[in-house]
Structure 1
Amino acid sequence: MLARDDQDSLKRTPLHSLHVSLGGKMVPFAGYDMPVQYPAGVLKEHLQTRTSAGLFDVSHMGQIALRPKSGKVEDAARALEKLVPQDILAIAPGRQRYAQFTNADGGILDDLMVANFGDHLFLVVNAACKADDEAHLRAHLSDDCIIDSLEDRALIALQGPKAEAALAKLCAEATSMKFMDAGPHKVAGLACFVSRSGYTGEDGFEVSVPAGDAERLAKALLDNPDVMPIGLGARDSLRLEAGLCLYGHDIDTATTPVEAALEWSVQKSRRTGGARAGGFPGAEKILAHFDQGASRRRVGLRPEGRAPVREGALLFAGEAGSKPIGQVTSGGFGPSLNAPVAMGYLPTSSSALDTKLFAEVRGQRLPLTVAAMPFVKNTYKR
């Protein structure tokens, strides 16, 4: 438990008072005082998001505008391609793409979303990395772009099969948006940035709203009986079932996109031939992993029985003896499956689906199997 001085040093999102009024159990997370759950509890919040709609405060995330000094968004895209292995030039206006900042060794500094708003790029980065990400952008792109940290905005996520209907009451354009569409829209008369995306595997939206209007918008959404507030606990179990990486756990500065099973996120134009292949930090190592394979790989894991296998558990090829061959990076109970799920890293030679393994939990080795991800089928509106 944090000392009072440490608690007082935590930052608060614009929705902090609302969380407290709704009975949120507040905990430290990435330097912020955030709700881990509400009175309904993690299990009900998780299932609410899978069956109806859940509202998440993700205002701790970083929001950054990348404005080209030339006035041409293509120039901002070219500049950003110096830092990420993704094809940013190919993002059409009104669309967004998942990307990673990489380092000289091919490791991942952070993962992020990049949207093309027509005249500039809009980035959403992880809370724990946002100061470093902004400094990284300023160090490398200041000649080409104005880097504008949007600290006066909150960010909320509305996720679940009834998210579209709930948002459409406040933003009629929501119904026409497809997965990964993104751009400025009016929501309840407020000037917002809306993307059809999220971190749960469900259909849904992320809405950037002026900080001073965030509570009013959140309350308007929560007035809908199909929408419940959801805390960090269910956010984590939802993303785990969806097979989505958590930065600092499943991906980090020592992990390449190929090792992390994120090859799908690196477009062909950046990795095979042509003038735009390579040219990003760690390209030599990352492209070698594409060509020759990596020695290890992130995989899904399905433990037998009911006991969750948590982050840090060592993985073994056999029930007794031998040295560990891998480690769990995320693990817990999957409420939608009524069973435990996990992900971790194994030697590529041991990463085939249905491979039988053992995880060491409290001195015992529990059986598990390499499984396909996502564990729960995603419901994105393509």
Structure 2
Amino acid sequence: MSRTDNEQQELIQNIQELPVIKDNTEKIALYNRISSAVSNNKKNKGKTSKFIPASATLIAVALLIFIPFILFQNMPANEENQNADMQMADTYSESKEATESGIMNRIEEDSSSNAAGQAVEQEQSNRIAEVPMESYVLNENDDRTKVVHGAGSDVQQQYVIPISFLIADNENLHDYYNKLDRYMKNDEWGLNEYMLKGVTFELKKSEVLINLGEEFSIGEGSSNANIFAEMLTAMFTPYGINKAVLHSKDNNGVDLGPYGTIQKIPLQETKTVYKLYNRQFLLPVSDSEDLTIDQAFSEMRNDQKEFNIDRTIPDDIQFTTKVTGNTLVITFQEGDHIENGQEEMTMIEAMLMTAKSYGYEYVQFTNAPIDQIGHYYLPEPISVPAEVNPIDLRN
């Protein structure tokens, strides 16, 4: 808003009557003090926008530069004042140039520092992305591959761990079954001693003939008998086999301890929940209580440390389920913290295998904060895996 001539003269008169204050401090020193104060204020306030310190510095410089000119703009132009004005203008011109140079250097340093920080963060992100995540399932079984289903047990003989050995399609399935003890690395994998050493198998359409040999012994205790039956179930039900016929040295079957001598064992798949054993294998835990799928997922949140078994669903991930035909729809809760990491990938695969045991063919994940976990694209329905715990023998 413009002022009249009288108002301007009155303002000049008032400024000239102000007391004279002399400060011999160098202008650059004064600038440095202001810059230092601004810098300290930045540190005290924590994380703020990187442009605020630069803006504050520019404001301070602007005040240093323009206030003197306002004060001396309308003062009487005698020779002494002119000389003083010229001298002051030269001083402020030099100060302004030095200040501008310092500001540009400061901005360039901040930009370089920020770029370096972003480069480090990007490098760390790339390194994380380069670390391959471990998969515990075989998603598709192509025509060039056969699967030999082996099985072991935990060291306390409480649970069966299924193993899927991949062989070439032109290999003889029976040959591999009859030398499974060569491929079962129980000691290396932290499993109990392989129970079926020396046992041979002959696969038929709906049954498997098992020759136990002369040295076979089930051992004492009901847990051994249960494990024996569960191992046969894990090994042969994937082929549609529902009965095991046992032949021993006297052809009277096998002594299963509290169950007596058995010649035939019915093989039937059951609903299972999948957890993680020894951080190496997905472990199916039989559903003996006829749980709903929601109850099964709830059980997958529980560790069993006494058996070296870890949960596969973290407590902080919540979701709901519904069924659409042969598809189980899992909807994550808003705000769930889900990343593209190993824990999340193990969770996805354990949920897929559990859904498979409950008869579902597909799982649809919705409302996830990310689209991709490992090689799983969440916005589309995912087929349940073909096999669990694959080990490739083709190389």
Higher relative contact order (CA 8 A, sep 6+): 1
* Range of TM-score over shorter length: under 0.3
Instruction: Name the structure where strand makes up a greater proportion of residues.
Output: 1
- Specify which structure has the higher proportion of helix: 2
TM-score of the pair, normalised by structure 2: 0.24
Tell which structure's C-alpha radius of gyration is larger: 2
